[in-house]
Amino acid sequence: MIQWRAIDLKLLRDLRRLWAQTLAIALVLGCGVAVLLMSLGMSDALDRSRTAYYERNAFADIFARATRAPRLLLEEVSDIPGIRSVEARVSRFVILDLPGRTRPATVQIVSIPEHRAPRLNVPVLQSGRWPDPGVWDEVVVNAPFAEAHGYRPGDRFAANLGGTRRDLRIVGTALSPEFIYTVAPGALMPDPSSHGVIWMTDRAMEGAFDMTGAFDDLVLALDRNADPLAVIDAVDTLLDPHGGRGAHDRDDQISHAFLEAQIDELRVMAMILPPVFLLVTVFLVNMVIGRIVALERAEIGLLKAVGYSDRAVLLHYLTLAALVALCGIVVGWAAGTWLARWTSAMYARFYDFPELLFGLSWTSYALGALTGLVSAALGASRAALSAARLPPAVAMAPAPPPRFRRTWLDRLLAVVRLPQTDLMILRAISRWPVRSGTAVLGYALATAVLVAPSFFQDALDGIIDLSFNQANRQDAILLFPNDVQRSAVESVRRLPGVLQAEPQIFASVALSRGPYTVDTTLTGMEADADLARVVQDGAAVVLPESGITIDARTANKLSARLGDRILVEVKDRDDDPVPMPITGIVPQILGTGAYMSADAFDAMLRRGPRTSLVNVTLRADREPAFHEAVKMAPSLGGAILLSDNRRSFQDTIAANMNAMALIYIGLGAAIAIGVAYNGARIQLSERARELASLRILGFGAGEVSWILIGETMLLAVLAQPLGWWIGHAVAELMADRFSSDLYNLPLVLTPSTYARASLIALAASLAAVLIVRRRVDDLDLVAVMKTRE
């Protein structure tokens, strides 16, 4: 039979007596553990799924493009040291004419070997079969595109292949590690209804695009110890005479880059938000254990008098804190596992995996438990040490009453002549500044948790406004397979419903300054462009007739300032780099870039005016006729509809942001409730005699309750500006850590965000203190007055 020591029985009684406060602390600590597990679980699920997918389906290490390279070149490519495997392909963007759909769809069509499986970027067949050898009209489409349109094997659609309209038949659906994140050129989000991927046999692709014996797309796998930069340089040397556009590694492959950025964001979130909850836990545990020690001086003296050592008393209170922490850890483990699984499934809608490998490692659970126990130990350490150091004789005597003196605040309150209950509230706050300050910090952190993550929604609203209202004001973008004479713009203007048509030209370039080099895209546009513009501070930037304008991140990488000269090397040309002065440095949210006037662009390349695409605006009543004309145009390689882009972006983001907003509202409310409830309970226990005395003197229950409610809500209100400041600082840190070469999240926080955060925090505080207020009505006045303070 277990022999319980007196101090162990006391521990159990304390837990039973403090169950409500324990639950409030456990809720806050559990939120911190849950956020940690949620972030780590999502990042681990995406990372594990990606790693397994890449290994199983031989995702390439190096990617290269060319205009037209002979397949005979593959022997030389294979001989480059460090290359393990090579796959040459034909890859183009084409326009589809889908049955029952007025608008065109743009897909990337990729060749696959006719008589064998691909060596690299191996697609996973989801349904149907692969195209039969020698059959030119059979294709496999990526599964999300087929699902968006309800396609099954046997369905047909038309495509513009190499200027010729062809009817194609779907024989299967597939997924590929190359297209986990399938986004159209210029788009912000995947939209499977308007953009997809098609696989066709290499012989059919070569015949359709006049590429017999040639390729324009090359993917490579490297040996484990290979030097990627050396391989890239060697590949570029071989492809440059054939219109090479610069080889690159996985970091610049669009699908991998987006997925990597998402995983990094989730890991950053795991490092930034959980410490906020754990800091509140430290403060709450310190409040509760400190108050218990203050009220149990006599019990501590008795324990020491009967033989319990200082170490036993110290461990007693640390164990009490640890048991509270364990409750929170269990809550956090359960909530974190569910949230991680739910949010992973939500994020999986962005990314096309054959299967999502979800599973939290034991190290994630151990990390959550360790942080919870450490935060509770830190919170309890001061009070537990003070209890251990308390001599028995001193502990048995009542604690000396606090000494107060009249201050300027007392004199001011005497002049103001406030009601007695309000005076008691203000004096309690001013005479216990440390306790009041820690309560203010707790409420401020609750508000900060509600403010900080909200910058995502505000930032995305800013991105939408900049991308679709300011920088890109066109209705559609028409892409050409290769650069064409700028006179093609006149042909576009003659299409039905076209109101405006403006050309743009693109080239892959390397910008250099001293030892620094940045690979980016150079855009040439008309100096007075009205549709696709470079925007700074809400105004269009007029590109000068000479010089180059670059984005701020590129300038930082080049360590360049306005007026410096940089070298511009066009990737698919053998010309020497051209020195160019920097005439402008502009902020850019999405990606990196450089800009020149179209005339200066063509002059730099010493050629006639050309264009890569045309931006157009449309008459609303003529859009159907425009779409039909685009689907029949033989020279176009793709059509991007900005309205579809915006709709996809807003719908996808809105669903995810609403879900995440509910999570963070719950987390912020949990902090506010935990702080308010524990603060009110401690206030009630400390002032029970005082409140009972007021009732005996004739004060009503409402007046006495106001003392409890007023102090809590005044502290919560005072905490709001501090909470806004902390939330802004955390949001600024998150924006900085989340930014990458793919996008730069702007720090945007609107007044409504601060107001919403404060309303939720104050409402949660009020709800918590109203729960405690009910105990005022149940006070036994006689019993309370008999207790010795």
Query: What's phi and psi for 105, nearest 5 deg?
Result: -120, 145
Q: What single DSSP character describes residue 71?
A: G
The span from the CA of 91 to the CA of 111, in Å, is 6
Of 589, 620, 633, the residue nearest 472 (C-alpha): 589
Rounded mean pLDDT, 644-664:
67
**pLDDT at site 777:** 62
CB 83 within 8 A of CB 222: yes
Rounded mean pLDDT, 97-126:
88
Q: What single DSSP character describes residue 136?
A: T
Asked whether the predicted pLDDT for residue 96 surpasses 80, the reply is: yes
Give the H or E element holding residue 416.
helix 408-416
Asked whether the predicted pLDDT for residue 645 surpasses 90, the reply is: no
602 vs 778, residue with greater confidence: 602
**Helix, strand, coil fractions of the chain, as percent rounded to 5:** 55, 20, 25
CB 473 within 8 A of CB 533: yes
**pLDDT at site 789:** 47
Radius of gyration of the chain (CA): 34
In this prediction, residue 659 has a pLDDT band, given cuts at 50, 70 and 90, of: low
Helix/strand/coil for 576: coil
**Strand (E) positions, 744-783?**
none
Query: What's phi and psi for 152, nearest 5 deg?
Result: -135, 160
Alpha helices in 209-273 (DSSP H): 228-239, 254-272
**pLDDT at site 264:** 81
Asked whether the predicted pLDDT for residue 375 surpasses 70, the reply is: yes
Rounded mean pLDDT, 641-664:
69
The span from the CA of 199 to the CA of 140, in Å, is 5
Q: What percent of the chain is modeled with pLDDT above 70?
A: 88
Lowest-confidence range among 51-55, 100-104, 622-626, 668-672?
668-672
Asked whether the predicted pLDDT for residue 708 surpasses 80, the reply is: no
**pLDDT at site 310:** 78
**Strand (E) positions, 176-249?**
195-201, 214-222, 248-249
Distances (CA, A) of 29 to 25, 341, 368: 6, 20, 10
Asked whether the predicted pLDDT for residue 1 surpasses 50, the reply is: no
One-letter identity of residue 235: V
Question: Up-side HSE of residue 363: CA atoms within 13 Å toward CB?
Answer: 2
Rounded mean pLDDT, 414-441:
74
Tokens of 320: 């009490």
Asked whether the predicted pLDDT for residue 686 surpasses 70, the reply is: no
Tokens of 636: 């176009």
pLDDT, one tens digit per residue, over 238-249 is 988 888 877 888
Highest mean pLDDT among 2-6, 152-156, 376-380, 780-784: 152-156
Distances (CA, A) of 695 to 144, 239, 785: 69, 91, 11
Lowest-confidence range among 105-119, 650-664, 744-758?
650-664
**pLDDT at site 248:** 87
Tokens of 643: 């309205």
The span from the CA of 565 to the CA of 582, in Å, is 6
Distances (CA, A) of 444 to 44, 493, 653, 758: 32, 58, 28, 9
**pLDDT at site 171:** 94
In this prediction, residue 58 has a pLDDT band, given cuts at 50, 70 and 90, of: very high
Rounded mean pLDDT, 438-455:
81
Lowest-confidence range among 299-303, 513-517, 693-697, 758-762?
693-697
Across the chain, mean pLDDT equals 81
The span from the CA of 191 to the CA of 107, in Å, is 11
Rounded mean pLDDT, 180-203:
83
Cβ-based neighbour number of residue 147 at 10 Å: 14
**pLDDT at site 393:** 65
Of 382, 414, 213, the residue nearest 292 (C-alpha): 382
CB 568 within 8 A of CB 511: yes
**pLDDT at site 70:** 92
pLDDT, one tens digit per residue, over 562-588 is 888 888 888 767 677 888 888 888 887
Of 229, 203, 209, 241, the residue nearest 76 (C-alpha): 241
Helix/strand/coil for 62: strand
- Pairing outcome for strands 91-97 and 105-112: antiparallel
In this prediction, residue 627 has a pLDDT band, given cuts at 50, 70 and 90, of: confident
CB 335 within 8 A of CB 365: no
* Domain map (residue ranges) of the chain: 55-256, 498-618
681 vs 101, residue with greater confidence: 101
Rounded mean pLDDT, 347-372:
81
**pLDDT at site 311:** 83
One-letter identity of residue 208: A
Q: What percent of the chain is modeled with pLDDT above 90?
A: 11
Asked whether the predicted pLDDT for residue 561 surpasses 70, the reply is: yes
